[in-house]
Amino acid sequence: MPELPEVETVRRDLEHALVGRRIIEVRLHGARTVRRHDPAELVASSKGRTVTGARRRGKYLLVDTDDGGALVIHLRMSGQLRLHSPADPAAAHTHAWFDLDDGHQLRFVDPRTFGELVWVPSGANDRRTPELARLGVDPLRDPPDERRLRELLGSRRLPLKGALLRQDLVAGIGNIYSDEIAFAARLRHDHRTDALTRRQLAALSEAMAQVIADAVAHRGSSLSDAQYVDLFGRPGGFQHHHQVYGRAGQPCPCCRRPLVRAAFAQRSTVGCRHCQR
């Protein structure tokens, strides 16, 4: 599932593939892809524009254009952006096509249709995407130190995993990386944030920065369902470095006792009951 490392990998690919390119044709298919405004506006506004940048905020991608507008993309659970030759057959559940002036075609594919595209006109700021204004610190660009984490978490009565998943506190962490970060910090997923000591917050700070940076260096995690691949269809490599996610029943990398699955907020969580406190 695309979380920060996967979205950042796609962003870097997009930056290389799109910046300086002109969008010469746009096609949309399906009613759910553009749902915050008239889809025709996205087509009319992005067509003819030249891409000037590719940014990421949390798990959101922002493709900037030369008129100051931006195409905002969220992949949610199963969304993919892929670069193709126009002659390539379309994958099932392809919902958007962008023809570029270098002969390539950017496609948006999303079986579960949770993902979406939003056109944000120049000067519109966050009116159409108000959640962007509420995003918390970025653990890749601006990893929070112990002091910052204390400000963010210390006054809240949240289970650690719940806090890590809150996009308005730290932006970009999902189910995979929250488990990996909690394990790397040797903290239980249900450890109350207001009970974390300075030493534990320092461990959390280091774990967060390290796990996210490593995952980005490995171009993200691709699970067996292959829902995440990069712009060119290549899987990431960080799944081979997962310590706990998807490894319930297997030995803890630290103490060799079996890793345990727990339910947390309708989500599965894996960890070591012995090593994580």
Partner DNA sequence: CGATCTACCTGATGGC
Partner DNA sequence: TGCCATCAGGTAGATC
Give residues in contact with DNA (CB under 7 A).
1-3, 32, 58-60, 74, 76-78, 92-93, 111-114, 131, 156-159, 162, 165, 167, 174-176, 224-225, 265-268
**Nearer Cβ to DNA (30/48):** 30
The DSSP line for 45-74 is: HHTTPBEEEEEEETTEEEEEETTS-EEEEE
Q: Is 47 part of the annotated catalytic residue set?
A: no
Q: What are the structure tokens assigned to 272, written together? A: 């070591």
Q: Supply the minimum distance, in Å, between the C-beta of residue 25 and DNA.
A: 26
Q: Supply the minimum distance, in Å, between the C-beta of residue 20 and DNA.
A: 28
The active-site residue out of 21, 59, 161, 219 is: 59
The active-site residue out of 12, 166, 186, 267 is: 267
Q: What are the structure tokens assigned to 251, written together? A: 């030995």
Q: What are the structure tokens assigned to 106, written together? A: 């950017």
**Nearer Cβ to DNA (104/267):** 267
**Nearer Cβ to DNA (93/148):** 93
Q: Supply the minimum distance, in Å, between the C-beta of residue 232 and DNA.
A: 20
Q: Is 3 part of the annotated catalytic residue set?
A: yes
The active-site residue out of 3, 6, 8, 180 is: 3
**Nearest residue to 213 via CA among 2, 9, 73:** 9
Dihedrals phi, psi of 122, to nearest 5 degrees = -55, 130
Q: Supply the minimum distance, in Å, between the C-beta of residue 103 and DNA.
A: 29
CB atoms within 10 A of CB 261: 15
195 secondary structure, DSSP code: G
Q: Is 59 part of the annotated catalytic residue set?
A: yes
Q: Is 144 part of the annotated catalytic residue set?
A: no
Q: What are the structure tokens assigned to 243, written together? A: 């310590």
> CA 93 to CA 108: how far, in whole Å?
9
Q: What are the structure tokens assigned to 92, written together? A: 């099932």
Indicate which residues carry an active-site annotation. Answer: 2-3, 59, 267
